[in-house]
Structure 1
Amino acid sequence: MRLERLSWTEKLSGPKARRPIPILSPLFRDAVIQASLNPRVRKLSFVRTLCFRGVEVPADLLLLHGEDRVAMELLDARPLRGLDEIGMLLLALERSGSRLRQMSARDVEQEPLLSNCRLVWNSRDAEVHRADRHAIFAALGQGATKLGELRRSCGLGCETVHALMCADLIGADLSLPLNDDLAIVRIRRPAVPRAASPPR
């Protein structure tokens, strides 16, 4: 994922986000980065509004697609809502098959997750040579490998490993200490079928 400036706001786009995600606040940026580096999250999307019974409901939610669909709302960045709007939002989420998860600043700022994700994210634009990428994939072919062992066997630095995490090609539980004992896994996402061409 790469940080880019579109119009008046910052947005994030990358392997998990087909469309740029607006950054509502610095804390929201950290939450998006953490979701981007979470191996259990397959896809990210941002929803400005939801529809319920023909009525548009303001949302401003980050959708995390994994084993289920979670609509994440950061409490410091959420719009002000009346009781009727809250009820409509919950009904619209239920109909869409998503569950609401509200997060506070304390949730996002948990350590070492916060510092680990920021550190890894700093390498998102690092160049990774094809031979180095293949070497890492080969080392992970038999399953999870400790970070220290992976670096020694491939002769690579942390920046290369971090860049592949940002590319959603390998992953780790970054809520754990980022040291040589951290388990690294290969990420294989199922191919998304291409839409059939309309008949001519």
Structure 2
Amino acid sequence: MMEQPRSIRLTDPRALRAYAHPTRMTLVGLLRSEGPFTATRAAELTGESVASCSYHLRILAKYGLVEQAPGGKGREKPWQATARYTEWPGHSEDPAVAEAADALSGAAMELNFQRVLRAVEKRRTLPREWQEAEVFGDSLLHLTPEELADLGRRMEELLRPYEDRATDAALRPEGARPVSILRIAYLERENPGRGEEE
């Protein structure tokens, strides 16, 4: 079996706009964590109809984000993600690409924000060690563009040693559970209401 590529990069404005749909982002995420699975299973996991999931999976396949997996019969063919991560441009000289990429970033942020809110609402039900281990915080740093890019690369390097656990359960130590880590850094355009003393 061929190893799944680490990431797929979207640069076509049509692909960027297609992926910006919350159900499609959710389906790709589920296929990465729990796939392969059929449209019927996708409907169970998402609460959408089988027809809706089937439609969204076909759109995702059109842009190379998912593909038919081996096995299955007739209409019950399983789907799988084509890569572990999806990337898109942070900058483009092409206005159509830039606009579609910004829309996708906004849609991804909104979806992640909803997930974070649900996590916060339910965190009191977690065992104490998980509540104490979870990280919620922010920092205001004064950086150059080069320093910010370097910080992003170093955060990525910190996470890399844990990536293979997603696809190989044998690498997971006892007690390991899926943990979402968001990396967000943006230029503060407004007065953040904080003084230099922080």
TM-score in terms of structure 1 length: 0.24
Determine which structure has the larger strand proportion and give its number: 1
What is the TM-score normalised by the length of structure 2?
Answer: 0.25
Larger RCO, structures 1/2 (Cα 8 Å, 6+ apart): 2
Q: Could you say which structure has the higher helix fraction?
A: 2
